[in-house]
Amino acid sequence: MQNPSDSALLRNAKRIVVKVGSSLVTNEGRGLDAVAIGQWSEQLAALAKDGREVIMVSSGAIAEGMKRLGWSIRPKGIHKLQAAAAVGQMGLVQMYETKLRENGIGSAQVLLTHADLADRERYLNARSTLLTLLQLGVVPVINENDTVVNDEIKFGDNDTLGALVANLVEADLLIILTDQKGLYTADPRKDPAAQFVHEAKAGDTSLEAMAGGVGSSIGRGGMITKILAAKRAAGSGASTVIAWGREPEVLIRLTRGEAIGTLLVAQTQKMQARKQWMADHLQLRGSVTVDAGAASKVRDSGKSLLPIGMTDVQGDFSRGDVIAIRDDDGIEIGRGLTNYSSSEARLICRKASSEFEKLLGYTGESEMVHRTNLILSR
């Protein structure tokens, strides 16, 4: 039975990443399932109109490409896989665009690789784009850029990508829709005594022992990739639900707090996880010195750091690196992810945001370090 607090967790989730697998999207490889995609799109639109921010991570490009090319068996050759992805992506994105538009919601295609999210500058660029799309009320439809990156097809899976996107946008909830009801203590297709797992802690190592291998000939994932994805998403405070994608109104019912599928609860609060991540896993690349007014706003009021409050820039750093923020006495008051490189920072030091375009040649963020990307020194 679901705990009342977990029901509230689902109801209160504002930013949600939904991942759907190839076997569902393509009806086990028979072609894009227009009815199913239409139903998910209708639910995504309803959630967006209800004030939720939703992102769809969708598999299916390679499977749809295989169908269009007349292939019944997934090829092993990397170039054939890339060709299938290129062919299938056309139909996949068109289907989501059509179905979301029918429900009064705009969509945007975003192709990512794991490398995009490993590089700090590209990570911030992707984050800024996705957050802007959400602010505009548009549903981003994300897939791996399988057509150009070899190892993404060979090793990648969209369960992992879903978790990385959840971390990227600091989602409250990751919903993984699959062709199984959720997690069982063993493979129910082989073991009739397998028990359904309604709820567990994300990252519990015993869950990995329960999960089986690759799930189908169409997709590349399996329950183990979903368990590991939930563990990864929990690192930034996002809980995960693994549920059957054909459950009626599954997204609507989940966000109403209904106990559907397997809920894997993150044990770390979102802000705590983000602060720990920045403090423990990123290297310091440089620093900026700020005046007393800026120091007070950052340290005492929790405000973002604006370039106009900076008096000096030290080090050689790039956009997305971690830098220290120091007061006039050289004491570190905080650190965070910079929106500008050191060379750009020197140009906009002591300048108002209205001057950025003239100085830099483009209009970027008004903050040097946004408060959500900043931790204060203890």
All structural domains of the chain: 4-270 (3.40.1160.10), 282-376 (2.30.130.10)
Confidence of residue 338 (pLDDT cuts 50, 70, 90): very high
Q: Beta 284-290 vs 322-326: how paired, if at all?
A: parallel
**In the predicted model, is pLDDT for residue 27 greater than 90?**
no
The pLDDT value recorded for residue 270 is: 72
Q: What phi and psi, each to the nearest 5 degrees, are found at residue 210?
A: -75, -30
Residue type, 79: H
Q: Are 337 and 373 in contact (CB under 8 A)?
A: yes
Angle between helices 78-102 and 61-69 (to 10 degrees): 110
**pLDDT top residue among 369 and 21:** 369
**pLDDT top residue among 16 and 116:** 16
Taking 3-state DSSP, the helix, strand and coil percentages for the chain, each rounded to the nearest 5, stand at 45, 20, 35
Q: Are 85 and 143 in contact (CB under 8 A)?
A: no
Average pLDDT, the chain: 88
Q: Could you give the percent of the chain with pLDDT greater than 70?
A: 90
Confidence of residue 22 (pLDDT cuts 50, 70, 90): confident
Q: What phi and psi, each to the nearest 5 degrees, are found at residue 105?
A: -125, 135
With the C-alpha atoms ordered 72, 74, 79, 84, is the resulting torsion angle positive or negative? positive
Q: What is the pLDDT of residues 87-144, one digit of tens each?
A: 999 999 999 999 999 999 999 999 988 777 767 778 889 999 999 999 999 999 999 8
The pLDDT value recorded for residue 156 is: 55
The pLDDT value recorded for residue 216 is: 43
The residue assigned the tokens 């291998």 is 213
The pLDDT value recorded for residue 271 is: 66
Q: What is the pLDDT of residues 198-242, one digit of tens each?
A: 999 998 988 988 875 444 434 445 789 999 999 989 988 999 999
Taking the alpha carbons at both ends of the chain, their separation in whole angstroms is: 41
**pLDDT top residue among 154 and 60:** 60
Residue type, 293: G
**In the predicted model, is pLDDT for residue 319 greater than 70?**
yes
Q: Are 322 and 285 in contact (CB under 8 A)?
A: yes
The pLDDT value recorded for residue 155 is: 37
Question: How far is Cα 11 from Cα 245, in angstroms, rounded to an integer?
Answer: 19
Q: Could you give the percent of the chain with pLDDT greater than 90?
A: 62
pTM score: 0.78
Confidence of residue 149 (pLDDT cuts 50, 70, 90): low
The pLDDT value recorded for residue 152 is: 43
